[in-house]
Amino acid sequence: MGVKIVEILPRKEISVEHLANRRVAVDAFNWIYQFLAIIRQPDGTPLRDSKGRVTSHLSGLFYRTAKLLEARITPVYVFDGKPPELKYVTAERAERKLEATVKWREALERGDEEEARKYAQQTSRLTAEMVKQAKELLEAMGVSVVQAPSEGEAQCAWFAKHKKVYAVASQDTDSLLFGAPLLIRNLSITGKRKIAGKKAFVDVEPQEMSLEAALRELDLTQDQLVMLGMLVGTDFNPGVKGVGPKTALKIVREEKTFEKVFAKVAAKWEGPDPKDVFEIFKKPPVDDLQIIEHKLNPEKLRKMLVDEFEFSLDRVNKIIDGLQKKPSQPGLGKWVK
């Protein structure tokens, strides 16, 4: 779900070239769910091999990662670990997916392909086997994979705060609440993006969001930004009914302290104790994990993608040729600028 506060945060468009020779921490689940939702047949059915196994996630990761490497951007994919006990959205998401599945099938029966695709995108499921496949693919591409102890975005933010990477790449803004100095949005969907529910596309460019700029423009402290996010709703609490980003900003600016902010909304607050939610963002389970580099393994890529999942040999070979010709990257000490 993520924290829905994008509309009030300052951001600037950047070029892909701006990120050349830099390393970015990618919220792996965030991207994989995008691929599962977007890379589908016209009727909304995900891509599958002849054995019925979903391959949308592999297709998206393979081609997107190759484009990043071609642009001399080095992604570090960070995978979610055990979710915090407060992560309330699991049951809610399951219910929404069940409802979407029913509506998808009804639309298919009516022959409404556009409606079917819309609901199909809400039915994406990521299994443990798909996560394993994703990790194997990325390592075979020579890309670093990190297993976070808990929330992937929290670990991404830790890497950025400690200058292990230049920025965090995610569509969600949660990493800013976790303290990431820089967030890159739209990195995984550069070019054009389909407008939901319409047969139209809009141009999309990468955007950079600075935590320092956000706090300065909103006139907030880091703690107050977390409070604002909690009022709107996070993966750990449903938010306050009727309170959007602008109203939440007004409340936090006026009340200022944690005690006064949540006393103000106490009658409407639902979910866990606000102090427990706040603590997750301030002291998330993260580790000083090593970012291990891997070597490109063309043979393993062909075996996995072509022999196992029936990708086109010509297309896979073309990508591999490009990866083998990729310009050499700077040493680890020169990554963050």
CATH number at residue 276: 1.10.150.20
**Residue 99 lies inside a defined structural domain of this protein:** yes
Same domain? 109 vs 97: yes
Same domain? 44 vs 152: yes
Same domain? 24 vs 83: yes
What sign has the CA pseudo-torsion 235, 241, 244, 245?
A: negative
**pTM to 2 decimal places:** 0.86
**Residue 293 lies inside a defined structural domain of this protein:** no
**Residue 321 lies inside a defined structural domain of this protein:** no
The structure tokens listed for 13 are 């468009």
| 147-to-78, 151, 263, 270, 286 alpha-carbon distances in Å | 6, 10, 38, 32, 10
Same domain? 238 vs 180: no
Same domain? 163 vs 261: no
- Please count the structural domains in the chain: 2
Same domain? 64 vs 84: yes
- Pure H helices in 181-312: 211-218, 222-232, 245-255, 258-264, 274-282, 298-301
Domain termination site, one of 218, 237, 253: 218
Tens-binned pLDDT, residue by residue, of the chain (337 aa): 678 899 999 999 999 999 999 999 999 998 998 898 888 887 778 899 999 999 999 999 999 999 999 999 999 999 999 988 777 554 455 555 455 444 445 444 555 555 544 544 555 688 999 999 999 999 999 999 999 999 999 999 999 999 999 999 999 999 999 999 999 999 865 565 555 555 555 667 899 999 999 999 999 999 999 999 999 999 999 999 999 999 999 999 999 999 999 999 999 999 899 999 999 999 999 999 999 999 999 999 999 999 999 999 999 999 999 999 866 554 444 444 4
Amino acid 139 reads E
Same domain? 118 vs 49: yes
Same domain? 143 vs 208: yes
Instruction: List strand residue ranges (DSSP E) for 72-200, in order.
Output: 73-79, 144-147, 167-169, 182-185, 191-194
Angle at 245 between CA 239 and CA 251, to 5 degrees: 80
Separation between Cα atoms, residue 15 and residue 190, nearest integer Å: 10
The structure tokens listed for 44 are 């909304």
* Structural domain that includes position 225: 219-285
**Residue 297 lies inside a defined structural domain of this protein:** no
Within 10 A of 68 (CB to CB), how many other CB atoms are there? 20
Instruction: Write out the DSSP string of 17-61.
Output: GGGTTEEEEEEHHHHHHHHHHHSB-TTSPBPB-TTS-B-HHHHHH
**Residue 300 lies inside a defined structural domain of this protein:** no
Q: What is the DSSP letter of 238?
A: -
**Residue 330 lies inside a defined structural domain of this protein:** no
Residues 6+ apart with CB under 8 A from 54: 36, 46, 47, 48, 130
Same domain? 4 vs 135: yes
Residues 6+ apart with CB under 8 A from 332: none
- The pLDDT assigned to 207 comes to 95
- The pLDDT assigned to 94 comes to 52
Separation between Cα atoms, residue 125 and residue 300, nearest integer Å: 26
Same domain? 198 vs 255: no
Q: What is the DSSP letter of 90?
A: H
Domain termination site, one of 175, 202, 218: 218
Report yes or no: 21 and 72 within 8 Å, Cβ to Cβ.
yes
CATH no. for residue 145? Answer: 3.40.50.1010
- The pLDDT assigned to 333 comes to 40
Report yes or no: 171 and 34 within 8 Å, Cβ to Cβ.
yes
**Residue 332 lies inside a defined structural domain of this protein:** no
Residues 6+ apart with CB under 8 A from 58: 133, 134, 137, 305, 309, 311
Domain termination site, one of 164, 193, 218: 218
Report yes or no: 227 and 31 within 8 Å, Cβ to Cβ.
no
What sign has the CA pseudo-torsion 292, 298, 303, 308?
A: positive
Same domain? 74 vs 95: yes
**Residue 65 lies inside a defined structural domain of this protein:** yes
Beta strand pairing status for 182-185 and 167-169?
Answer: parallel
Residue 182 forms beta bridges with which residues? 210
Same domain? 233 vs 172: no
